[in-house]
Structure 1
Amino acid sequence: MQGFNMGRYVPPEHEGTTSANKLAGKHALGSRARKAGQGILTVRFEMPFAIWCATCPKPTIIGQGVRFNAEKKKVGNYHTTPIYSFRMKHVACGGWIEIRTDPKNTAYVVTEGAKKRDTGEDKVQEGEIRIKTDEERERLANDAFTALEGKVEDKRQATTDKSRIEELQRAKEKDWSDPGEANRRLRKTFRVERKVRQKNEGLTEELKDKMSLGMELLEETEDDRRRAGFVEFGEFDSARAIVKAKSRPLFADSSASKKPLAKRVTDAEERREKLRKELGNNTRAMLDPFLNVDKPSVPAMSSVCFLKRKRSSIEDTERSSNVKETNVEAKAPVPALVDYDSD
C-alpha cells in the first residue's frame, strides 16, 4: 500500500514489477541527474583550498570552504581508483573552474580556470623525504649531469643528517647514561611542580569563591604581576600623598608586584574598606548640623549670622520708620496738579 498523495502511486497491474519513477520516466535524483546520459551528476562541492580565479578582470580569491553546485564526472582511472572531475561556474565573472582528484598524491588539482593559492604547504620541509616521480627517475637514469647533481646533493644531505644524528646520540648518552638517576631527577622535579600547581589551584578556588566568579582564572604570569604593581590606591592624607608621589622614583621597583595574588587582593580590599569608612565619616560630618559645634569655623559662622541678624533688624527698623513717614505724608492734602518724578 502506497502513501497518500506522495507521488509514488503504482497501478495495481504494475505493482511489484516496476517503480513509480520508471512509470513517470523520471530519475530518482530529479534535476540533479538531468545530464545523467552524459555521465554527469550535479553535486554540492566544497572548495578544498583557496584559489585565484583566472577569469575575473581583477585578481579575485575564492576562499577555502566556499560551496558550489558542481558537475561531477569520471574522467579516468589511477590503477583501479577512478579520477573524478568537478566543474563549476564562478558567479562573479561567469567563468568555469575545473578541479580533479589526484589519487596518486591523495589531493586535488586545479586543471582549468583558476590557480591554487601558494601558502608554502606544498614545499618540502627540513627532514621530509620527497618521493621522485617516474619522469624524474627517467631523467636521472638518462642524463649524466642530472645524476651527478643528485649525487652531490645526496652526499651533502647525508653529511648534514649524520652530524645531526651523532649530536642526538651524544645528548642521549649524556642525559640517559644512568636511566635510574634520570628517572629520579624527573620525578623529583615533577613532585615539586605538582605541589606548586596544587597550591595555586587552591588559591584560585578560594579567590573564585570569595569574589563569586563564574569563570576560569588563568595562571598568574610575570606580566600580570608587573601590571598589578602599577595600580595604587589613594591615601587618606592628601598632603602626604602628594609628597610621597613627588618623592617616589620614576623607575622604582614596586614591592606590591612581589606579593602573591591573594595577598594583594586582601590588601586592596582592606584599603577600599578604610577609604569607604573615611568617606562616610566625612560626608556625615559635613551634613549633620549637630556635629558642627566642635569645628573651629562655627564661631565665625555664628558671628556672621549674628551680624546678619543685627543688620537685618536695623534695616527692618529703618524700613518701618519710613513707612510711618510715608503714611503721615499720605494723610496731608495733595495738590491736584503737581510735577513729580516717577521715583
Structure 2
Amino acid sequence: MQGYNMGKWISPDLEGTTTGNKVHHKRAPGTLRKDGTQTVRFEMPFAVWCNHCKPHAIIGQGVRFNAEKKKVGYYYSTPIWCFRIKHVTCGGLLEIRTDPKNTAYVVTEGGKARDYGEPEDKVREGENGVPILTAAERERRRDDAFAQLEGRVEEKAAVKSNTKRIDELYRARERDWDDPWSVNKRLRTSFRHERKVLKREEDATEALKERLGTAIDLLPETDEDARRAKLVSYGDAEVEVNSADGKALFERKAPQRPTSSSSKPTKESRKDALRRRLITNTRAALNPFGGQT
C-alpha cells in the first residue's frame, strides 16, 4: 500500500527516500544498540507460569514475543544470553537465560518453568562428560536401541512368562477375595485357634518355671528334645534301684591309709568305674557310651 513501509506510515513526498524506522525514530528488529541489546523474535522453549498474573497464568510452549536480547556472561567460552519479554496479558516482565552447561533454558525472573514430572537428578547432555548429540546421532542411537531390544529373544520370553505370572496372580486374587466376608471369617478362625495354642504353651511354660523356681526364659520344645526324652527312663516304683538319689548327700568315708604307688588306681580303671556308675544311676534305653544297656 502506498504511504506505508514495513507497517509504518510514510508521507508521499518522502516515500522512496527514507524508511519508516527513520521517520518514526525506531530501530529495525535485530539491530544492535549501543548498550549491547537488540530486539529479536523469541519463541517460548517450554510452558512457563507467569507470576505477575493474578491468579498465575501459563504461557504455552511456542508462543512468540519480541524480546530484548543481551549477553550477560560466559560459560567457559560460550556466551550466556538473556531474553527479557513482556507478557501482553498482564504487562509483567519475564527473563529467560540460556544454560550452556546443561544445554537448556532457565527462567530467572517473573515466572517459573512448568513441571513436567521429570526427575531432578536426570543427567542431561553436556553434563558430567555426557556428549552433546546431534539430531542424526540421536535418531541412529534410538534405532540401534530398538534393534537390540527386538533381537533379544530371551528378554521376549521373560516378558511373556512374567505377563503370564501376573495374570495368574490377578486371577488368584480375584478368586480368593471374591467373597471378602468368608475370607475374613476364615482368617479370624485360624487366628483364634493359633492364639489359644500359644496361650496354652505360654501357661505350660510359666508353670514349669514355677516348679523349677527359675526366671530364665525357656526355649520352645523341639522334635529333637522329644526324641532324646524317650530314650531316658527315670526308674520304676516296683523295682528297687541303687541310684544316686537313694544315697546320702554327704557320705562319710573312713580315712584310708597311704598305699604304695603301685596300688594307685590307673586312669583306665577310674574311667571304667565312672562309666559303670553312670549306667547304674541312669536307666537309659540307649547307652551313651555305645551299645544297649
TM-score by length of 1: 0.29
Which has the higher relative contact order, 1 or 2, with Cα contacts under 8 A spaced 6 or more apart?
Answer: 2
By percentage of residues, which structure has more helix? 1
TM-score by length of 2: 0.34
